[in-house]
Structure 1
Amino acid sequence: MSSEDVEEARQLLLRYAGAERAMPTCDELRQFLKASREARIRNPEDIANYGSLALRHYKSQLAEEELWLLHEQVGIALMECGALQQALPLVKAVLLKFPGSIRARRLQGMYYQAAGKPAQAQQLYEELLSEQPHNDVIPKQLVVLHREAGALSEAISVLVTYLQHYSNDREAWEELADCYLEAGMYRQAAFALEEVLTMGVLAPLTLIKYGDTLASIGGAAQLRTARAYYAKALQVSGGRSVRALYGLIAVANQLPDKDAGAAGSAAQELPSAAAEALVAQYSRDAPDKLPLVKQALARYL
């Protein structure tokens, strides 16, 4: 399932908006909720709304496995919406049905987090990890807990240990990079982002983040590499990434390029070309901001 499948299923449900008596069918609700689960789309308001509807009106029509998947999915969505009173019966039902399950106890930990009981959540997660040291879900929940508390060193420690066993987890490397950046540990962040890039991820935001990180480290070699990644981000975005354009200009301002030959000439032309592209984009999309952009560019060029 993809985000397009989720949106298609959602549009079917929106036909019932404002209708006084009509209600989505069980299959229509199931399709939307299943697509959201499989595509891992975070849309807590819709999931809480439509999932609660499915559990309230079509519970008897749901297969056993799907019924408990919905309890978990809707419970998490309700917690994310701050509807703890509505989420609690679902959490209790899952715990009663699966009392020894790691997944059910993780749901309990998430409820503790949402209810403002981080110490209880942390104790529960650490107990679960002691039972299953190589569990691939609980560490991520523990990282969320530590980051919410501003405990970056603890979050980094959990991620580093986790990645020793799951080194191909791209999302974990990205989160580790974010933790390092938040802690001002730019060289470590660059290493984590390099791991992401070696997995073939060429999303413009990742390329720009790596360029930003190298630019923060500084030094001629790092700045030249940053320039290359900004240029790549610009290429991947079809020339429309404003952040990549600004990055090219900022790096050029820090790095008076003395390279000889055609490559050096092209590098020197990049800032001017980037500035022209920025002016063109703002002229088209936000003309009211164009004077401010030109004023900012004048300081660099």
Structure 2
Amino acid sequence: MAIEKKFPGSIRMRRIKGMYWEAKGDFNQAEAVYKAILLEQPNNELAMKRQAALELSRNNMTGAVDTIRKYLDVYANDKDAWEQLGELYLQMLLYRQALFCYEELLMFAPASVGYLTRVADILYTLGGNTNLRQARAYYSRAVDLSQGASARGLFGILACSAAITDKPVLQDDRSRAQIELPDLAAVSLMRLYKQHAPSKVAVVQSVLEDSLPKSS
């Protein structure tokens, strides 16, 4: 390769060479290049990233997870790597591991509506009253931060409230808020759809009528 002759021994050149082999579909050659770089520089950030990308190109999700975990042991502040790892865990149905990743992401961006709802989604999937209550709290936070514009958060509140089996008994302001929350979420959802998707209002209203508890 001409670039190899021009920059003999260059780490950057070798990494480009590995990417060339990746583009050609010769993953074994690419892997050999990246492994050689990491033998010389075990914490070479870009070579570690290319190894993870290589495993994804091979559809080797377990290998990609292992590679990204090793990378995060060194570069723990890489938000994109945490997100990639979380998505891989979700694809592998490893929900508790995915939850850990998204909780880490919330430390980077505690006001992210997307991360809040993703954590809530995972907790809802795990199930059980404790997880459902936590999920509802995350959905509620997402709704607050979005100023009521998170339809996902509002639907999440309703889903969690319907799934929680031990309902609160009216004792204080906190229990009153829990009891009233589904109705408030439903009202907000209807307002949202009337503003942004009026053609869907009838469908949403039907869904809400089926999901909300009937008053005696």
What is the TM-score normalised by the length of structure 2?
A: 0.86
How far did residue 198 of structure 1 move? 2.5
Which residue pairs with 2:168 in the alignment? 258
Aligned partner letter, 2:78: D
Structure 1 counterpart of 2:111: 202
Identity %: 38
Residue deviations 1:218-244 (CA, integer Å, cap 9, x gap) = 111111111111111112222111111
Aligned match of 2:34: 125
1:79-135 Cα distance to aligned partner (Å, 9 max, x none):
xxxxxxxxxxxxx66555434222232233333333333333333222222222111
**Structure 1: runs of 5 or more not aligned:** 1-91
Q: 1:262 Cα deviation (Å)?
A: 1.4
CA distance in 2, matches of 1:272, 1:144: 46
Is the CA contact (8 Å cut-off) linking 2:154 and 2:186 kept in structure 1? Answer: yes
1:163 aligns with 2:90: no
CA-CA distance at 1:150 after TM superposition: 2.4
Q: Is the 8 A contact 2:18 2:29 kept in 1?
A: yes
Distance across 1 between alignment mates of 2:36 and 2:82? 24
Distance in 1 (alpha carbons) for counterparts of 2:84 and 2:157:
25
Deviation at 1:202, TM superposition (A): 2.3
| Map of 1:42 onto structure 2 | none
Q: What CA distance in whole angstroms lies between the structure 1 residues aligned with 2:90 and 2:210?
A: 27
Count matched residues: 210
Alignment correspondent of 1:211: 120
> Is 1:104 equivalent to 2:33 in the alignment?
no
Q: How far 1:289 moved relative to its partner?
A: 2.0
1:137 is paired with a residue whose SS is helix
Residue 273 in 1 paired to residue 184 in 2? yes
Which aligned pairs between 1:66-77 and structure 2 lie closer than 5 A?
none
For the 8 Å contact 2:31–2:51, the answer to whether it is kept is yes
Quick one: distance in 2 between partners of 1:116 and 1:292? 48
SS of equivalent residue, structure 1 residue 171: helix
Change (3 A) 1:134 1:300: same
Residues in 2 aligned to 1:224 and 1:148: alpha-carbon distance in whole angstroms: 39
1:1-301 correspondence runs (5 A) = 95-256=4-165, 257-258=167-168, 260-301=171-212
> C-alpha displacement at 1:211, in angstroms?
0.7
User: d(CA) in 1 for partners of 2:43 and 2:59?
Assistant: 25
Separation in 1 of the partners of 2:199 and 2:4?
56
RMSD, aligned CA: 2.1
Deviation digits for residues 241-272 of structure 1 (CA, Å, limit 9, x no counterpart): 11111111111111143254211221222222
SS at 2:168's partner residue? coil
Shift of 1:200: 4.2
Q: CA deviation at 1:174?
A: 1.8
